[in-house]
Amino acid sequence: MSIENTHRPVRPFYWSVRRELWEHHSLSLAPLIVAAVALIGMLISVVMSLAKSLAKVATMEPVEQTSLLSAPYSAVALLVMITSVIVGCFYCLDALHGERRDRSILFWKSLPVSDATTVLAKASIPMLVLPLIAFMIITVVQLITVFVSTVVVLAHGISVATLWSKLPFMQMPIGVFYFLVATALWYAPVYAWLLFISAWAKRGTFIWAVVPPMALIAFVQLVGIAPNVGKNIRSQLIGSAELGFSVTANGEMIPDPMKFLSSPEVWIGLLIAAGLLLATVRLRRRREPF
Protein backbone atom coordinates (compact mmCIF):
# COMPACT_ATOMS: atom_id res chain seq x y z
CA MET A 1 0.00 0.00 0.00
CA SER A 2 1.59 3.23 -1.13
CA ILE A 3 1.19 6.45 0.74
CA GLU A 4 0.78 9.43 -1.52
CA ASN A 5 2.01 12.73 -0.21
CA THR A 6 -0.19 15.66 -1.04
CA HIS A 7 1.40 19.06 -1.04
CA ARG A 8 -0.94 21.91 -0.29
CA PRO A 9 -0.06 25.44 -1.40
CA VAL A 10 1.42 27.60 1.34
CA ARG A 11 -0.87 30.57 0.52
CA PRO A 12 1.35 33.25 2.10
CA PHE A 13 -1.16 36.05 1.45
CA TYR A 14 -4.00 34.18 3.16
CA TRP A 15 -1.92 33.36 6.23
CA SER A 16 -0.54 36.90 6.36
CA VAL A 17 -4.09 38.21 6.60
CA ARG A 18 -4.93 35.60 9.24
CA ARG A 19 -1.88 36.69 11.19
CA GLU A 20 -3.10 40.30 11.23
CA LEU A 21 -6.48 39.19 12.57
CA TRP A 22 -4.84 37.06 15.27
CA GLU A 23 -2.61 39.91 16.40
CA HIS A 24 -5.21 42.71 16.27
CA HIS A 25 -8.37 41.60 18.04
CA SER A 26 -9.66 45.18 18.10
CA LEU A 27 -10.34 44.94 14.36
CA SER A 28 -13.50 42.99 15.11
CA LEU A 29 -13.93 43.86 18.79
CA ALA A 30 -14.42 47.62 18.35
CA PRO A 31 -17.21 47.36 15.74
CA LEU A 32 -18.84 44.64 17.86
CA ILE A 33 -18.87 46.84 20.95
CA VAL A 34 -20.33 49.79 19.04
CA ALA A 35 -22.92 47.54 17.41
CA ALA A 36 -23.88 46.02 20.77
CA VAL A 37 -24.39 49.44 22.37
CA ALA A 38 -26.35 50.67 19.34
CA LEU A 39 -28.43 47.49 19.34
CA ILE A 40 -29.39 47.93 22.99
CA GLY A 41 -30.46 51.52 22.36
CA MET A 42 -32.32 50.51 19.22
CA LEU A 43 -34.21 47.71 20.97
CA ILE A 44 -35.22 50.04 23.79
CA SER A 45 -36.52 52.50 21.20
CA VAL A 46 -38.41 49.72 19.41
CA VAL A 47 -40.10 48.52 22.59
CA MET A 48 -40.96 52.03 23.75
CA SER A 49 -42.08 53.78 20.58
CA LEU A 50 -42.52 51.41 17.62
CA ALA A 51 -46.28 51.12 18.04
CA LYS A 52 -46.64 54.92 18.14
CA SER A 53 -44.44 55.27 15.07
CA LEU A 54 -46.58 52.79 13.13
CA ALA A 55 -49.65 54.82 14.05
CA LYS A 56 -48.02 57.96 12.60
CA VAL A 57 -46.87 56.12 9.49
CA ALA A 58 -50.43 55.67 8.26
CA THR A 59 -50.74 59.44 7.68
CA MET A 60 -47.47 59.82 5.75
CA GLU A 61 -46.44 59.50 2.13
CA PRO A 62 -44.92 56.12 1.10
CA VAL A 63 -41.38 57.54 0.84
CA GLU A 64 -41.70 59.19 4.27
CA GLN A 65 -43.00 55.93 5.74
CA THR A 66 -39.99 53.98 4.50
CA SER A 67 -37.61 56.73 5.61
CA LEU A 68 -39.04 56.87 9.14
CA LEU A 69 -39.03 53.11 9.75
CA SER A 70 -35.62 52.46 8.18
CA ALA A 71 -33.87 55.45 9.84
CA PRO A 72 -32.78 53.48 12.98
CA TYR A 73 -31.36 50.70 10.80
CA SER A 74 -29.41 53.24 8.75
CA ALA A 75 -28.13 54.95 11.91
CA VAL A 76 -26.75 51.69 13.32
CA ALA A 77 -25.14 50.82 9.98
CA LEU A 78 -23.53 54.26 9.78
CA LEU A 79 -22.14 53.98 13.32
CA VAL A 80 -20.53 50.61 12.58
CA MET A 81 -19.14 51.93 9.28
CA ILE A 82 -17.59 54.99 10.94
CA THR A 83 -16.09 52.78 13.64
CA SER A 84 -14.59 50.48 11.00
CA VAL A 85 -13.00 53.42 9.18
CA ILE A 86 -11.50 54.80 12.42
CA VAL A 87 -10.22 51.36 13.44
CA GLY A 88 -8.76 50.89 9.95
CA CYS A 89 -6.91 54.22 10.14
CA PHE A 90 -5.33 53.48 13.53
CA TYR A 91 -4.47 49.95 12.41
CA CYS A 92 -2.64 51.29 9.34
CA LEU A 93 -0.65 53.74 11.45
CA ASP A 94 0.73 50.90 13.58
CA ALA A 95 0.77 48.04 11.06
CA LEU A 96 4.37 48.46 9.87
CA HIS A 97 5.66 50.76 12.61
CA GLY A 98 4.82 48.29 15.38
CA GLU A 99 6.81 45.42 13.92
CA ARG A 100 9.90 47.63 13.67
CA ARG A 101 9.39 48.98 17.19
CA ASP A 102 9.20 45.53 18.83
CA ARG A 103 11.79 44.15 16.35
CA SER A 104 9.47 41.36 15.25
CA ILE A 105 10.20 42.45 11.68
CA LEU A 106 13.42 40.42 11.92
CA PHE A 107 11.39 37.27 12.48
CA TRP A 108 8.80 38.01 9.79
CA LYS A 109 11.49 38.81 7.23
CA SER A 110 13.10 35.44 7.92
CA LEU A 111 9.96 33.75 6.57
CA PRO A 112 9.45 33.08 2.84
CA VAL A 113 6.97 35.94 2.52
CA SER A 114 7.79 38.87 0.26
CA ASP A 115 7.49 42.49 1.32
CA ALA A 116 4.83 43.02 -1.34
CA THR A 117 2.72 40.20 0.10
CA THR A 118 3.09 41.59 3.62
CA VAL A 119 2.14 45.15 2.63
CA LEU A 120 -0.79 44.02 0.48
CA ALA A 121 -2.05 41.78 3.28
CA LYS A 122 -1.95 44.71 5.69
CA ALA A 123 -3.65 46.99 3.14
CA SER A 124 -6.41 44.42 2.65
CA ILE A 125 -7.43 44.70 6.31
CA PRO A 126 -9.05 48.16 6.10
CA MET A 127 -9.97 47.87 2.42
CA LEU A 128 -11.45 44.35 2.39
CA VAL A 129 -11.58 42.55 5.75
CA LEU A 130 -13.02 45.34 7.90
CA PRO A 131 -15.84 46.10 5.42
CA LEU A 132 -16.77 42.40 5.42
CA ILE A 133 -16.73 42.28 9.22
CA ALA A 134 -18.85 45.44 9.36
CA PHE A 135 -21.32 44.02 6.86
CA MET A 136 -21.79 40.82 8.87
CA ILE A 137 -22.23 42.75 12.12
CA ILE A 138 -24.72 45.17 10.58
CA THR A 139 -26.70 42.33 9.03
CA VAL A 140 -26.96 40.46 12.33
CA VAL A 141 -27.99 43.63 14.20
CA GLN A 142 -30.66 44.41 11.64
CA LEU A 143 -32.04 40.85 11.72
CA ILE A 144 -32.26 40.92 15.52
CA THR A 145 -34.03 44.28 15.37
CA VAL A 146 -36.51 43.05 12.77
CA PHE A 147 -37.30 40.01 14.92
CA VAL A 148 -37.85 42.11 18.06
CA SER A 149 -39.90 44.64 16.09
CA THR A 150 -42.12 41.85 14.81
CA VAL A 151 -42.70 40.56 18.33
CA VAL A 152 -43.53 44.07 19.58
CA VAL A 153 -45.96 44.67 16.71
CA LEU A 154 -47.74 41.38 17.36
CA ALA A 155 -47.88 42.12 21.10
CA HIS A 156 -49.74 45.36 20.34
CA GLY A 157 -52.22 43.56 18.12
CA ILE A 158 -50.98 45.23 14.93
CA SER A 159 -50.69 43.35 11.68
CA VAL A 160 -47.12 42.37 10.82
CA ALA A 161 -47.78 43.43 7.24
CA THR A 162 -47.95 47.03 8.43
CA LEU A 163 -44.28 46.82 9.39
CA TRP A 164 -42.93 44.44 6.80
CA SER A 165 -44.51 46.20 3.83
CA LYS A 166 -42.78 49.48 4.78
CA LEU A 167 -39.27 48.19 5.52
CA PRO A 168 -37.00 47.76 2.46
CA PHE A 169 -35.72 44.32 3.43
CA MET A 170 -33.91 43.62 0.17
CA GLN A 171 -32.60 47.13 -0.35
CA MET A 172 -31.05 47.51 3.11
CA PRO A 173 -28.32 44.80 2.90
CA ILE A 174 -27.59 45.65 -0.74
CA GLY A 175 -27.27 49.33 0.10
CA VAL A 176 -25.07 48.63 3.12
CA PHE A 177 -22.76 46.33 1.15
CA TYR A 178 -22.48 48.82 -1.71
CA PHE A 179 -21.78 51.71 0.66
CA LEU A 180 -19.06 49.71 2.44
CA VAL A 181 -17.36 48.89 -0.88
CA ALA A 182 -17.62 52.49 -2.08
CA THR A 183 -16.23 53.80 1.22
CA ALA A 184 -13.31 51.34 1.11
CA LEU A 185 -12.41 52.47 -2.42
CA TRP A 186 -12.84 56.14 -1.54
CA TYR A 187 -10.59 55.92 1.52
CA ALA A 188 -7.97 53.74 -0.20
CA PRO A 189 -5.48 56.63 -0.61
CA VAL A 190 -5.92 57.54 3.08
CA TYR A 191 -5.17 53.98 4.18
CA ALA A 192 -2.20 53.79 1.79
CA TRP A 193 -0.83 57.10 3.11
CA LEU A 194 -1.07 55.89 6.70
CA LEU A 195 0.70 52.63 5.79
CA PHE A 196 3.44 54.62 4.09
CA ILE A 197 3.91 56.77 7.20
CA SER A 198 3.88 53.62 9.34
CA ALA A 199 6.75 52.21 7.26
CA TRP A 200 8.71 55.46 7.12
CA ALA A 201 8.45 57.21 10.51
CA LYS A 202 10.57 56.15 13.47
CA ARG A 203 8.24 57.77 15.99
CA GLY A 204 5.23 60.07 16.12
CA THR A 205 3.38 58.35 13.29
CA PHE A 206 0.14 60.20 14.05
CA ILE A 207 1.88 63.59 13.89
CA TRP A 208 3.63 62.74 10.63
CA ALA A 209 0.37 61.47 9.15
CA VAL A 210 -1.63 64.58 10.06
CA VAL A 211 0.78 67.54 9.99
CA PRO A 212 1.91 67.42 6.30
CA PRO A 213 -1.67 67.31 4.93
CA MET A 214 -2.72 70.09 7.32
CA ALA A 215 0.29 72.18 6.28
CA LEU A 216 -0.60 71.65 2.62
CA ILE A 217 -4.20 72.67 3.29
CA ALA A 218 -3.02 75.83 5.08
CA PHE A 219 -0.65 76.66 2.21
CA VAL A 220 -3.23 76.37 -0.57
CA GLN A 221 -5.68 78.36 1.57
CA LEU A 222 -3.20 81.19 2.12
CA VAL A 223 -2.08 81.49 -1.50
CA GLY A 224 -5.65 81.24 -2.74
CA ILE A 225 -5.20 78.12 -4.88
CA ALA A 226 -8.21 76.42 -3.33
CA PRO A 227 -10.32 78.97 -1.43
CA ASN A 228 -13.11 76.52 -0.54
CA VAL A 229 -10.92 74.29 1.63
CA GLY A 230 -13.65 73.58 4.15
CA LYS A 231 -15.99 72.43 1.41
CA ASN A 232 -13.26 70.28 -0.13
CA ILE A 233 -12.49 68.61 3.21
CA ARG A 234 -16.17 67.87 3.71
CA SER A 235 -16.37 66.36 0.23
CA GLN A 236 -13.33 64.21 0.98
CA LEU A 237 -14.86 62.91 4.19
CA ILE A 238 -18.28 62.04 2.74
CA GLY A 239 -17.35 61.66 -0.91
CA SER A 240 -18.39 58.01 -1.03
CA ALA A 241 -21.93 59.04 -0.09
CA GLU A 242 -22.09 62.04 -2.42
CA LEU A 243 -20.68 60.21 -5.44
CA GLY A 244 -22.03 56.75 -4.66
CA PHE A 245 -25.69 57.68 -4.36
CA SER A 246 -28.20 59.71 -6.33
CA VAL A 247 -31.26 61.49 -5.01
CA THR A 248 -34.54 60.80 -6.78
CA ALA A 249 -37.27 63.37 -7.40
CA ASN A 250 -39.09 62.32 -4.23
CA GLY A 251 -35.94 62.71 -2.09
CA GLU A 252 -34.96 59.03 -1.87
CA MET A 253 -31.26 58.12 -1.98
CA ILE A 254 -30.49 55.17 -4.24
CA PRO A 255 -27.14 53.47 -5.03
CA ASP A 256 -25.56 54.76 -8.24
CA PRO A 257 -22.45 52.68 -9.01
CA MET A 258 -22.09 54.15 -12.51
CA LYS A 259 -21.89 57.66 -11.09
CA PHE A 260 -19.31 56.52 -8.54
CA LEU A 261 -17.12 54.52 -10.92
CA SER A 262 -17.20 57.23 -13.61
CA SER A 263 -15.91 59.84 -11.17
CA PRO A 264 -12.30 60.93 -11.86
CA GLU A 265 -11.74 61.50 -8.13
CA VAL A 266 -12.20 57.78 -7.44
CA TRP A 267 -9.65 56.66 -10.03
CA ILE A 268 -7.16 59.39 -9.14
CA GLY A 269 -7.41 58.28 -5.52
CA LEU A 270 -6.84 54.63 -6.47
CA LEU A 271 -3.78 55.58 -8.53
CA ILE A 272 -2.40 57.55 -5.59
CA ALA A 273 -3.08 54.57 -3.33
CA ALA A 274 -1.26 52.22 -5.72
CA GLY A 275 1.75 54.57 -5.83
CA LEU A 276 1.88 54.88 -2.05
CA LEU A 277 1.63 51.10 -1.58
CA LEU A 278 4.49 50.59 -4.05
CA ALA A 279 6.58 53.12 -2.13
CA THR A 280 5.65 51.35 1.13
CA VAL A 281 6.88 48.01 -0.23
CA ARG A 282 10.22 49.57 -1.17
CA LEU A 283 10.51 51.24 2.22
CA ARG A 284 9.90 48.00 4.08
CA ARG A 285 12.72 46.33 2.18
CA ARG A 286 15.19 48.94 3.50
CA ARG A 287 13.77 49.81 6.91
CA GLU A 288 15.43 48.29 9.95
CA PRO A 289 14.24 47.97 13.55
CA PHE A 290 14.91 50.86 15.92
DSSP for 95-140, written as a single string: HTHHHHHSSTHHHHHTSS--HHHHHHHHHHIIIIIHHHHHHHHHHH
Within 10 A of 279 (CB to CB), how many other CB atoms are there?
Answer: 16
Measure the CA–CA gap between 174 and 187, rounded to whole angstroms.
20
Residue type, 104: S
Return the SS3 of 227.
coil
* pLDDT > 70 in the chain, percent: 83
Could you tell me how far CA 286 lies from the centroid of its own chain?
31
Average pLDDT over residues 268-272: 93
Residue 74: what pLDDT? 84
Task: Flag whether pLDDT at 118 surpasses 80.
Answer: yes
Return the SS3 of 9.
coil
pTM (two decimals): 0.86
Residue 3: what pLDDT? 46
Average pLDDT over residues 192-216: 89
Average pLDDT over residues 223-247: 67
* Residue 119 and residue 160 in contact, taking contact as beta carbons nearer than 8 Å: no
Phi and psi torsions of 123, nearest 5° = -65, -30
CA atoms within 13 A on the CB side of 211: 7
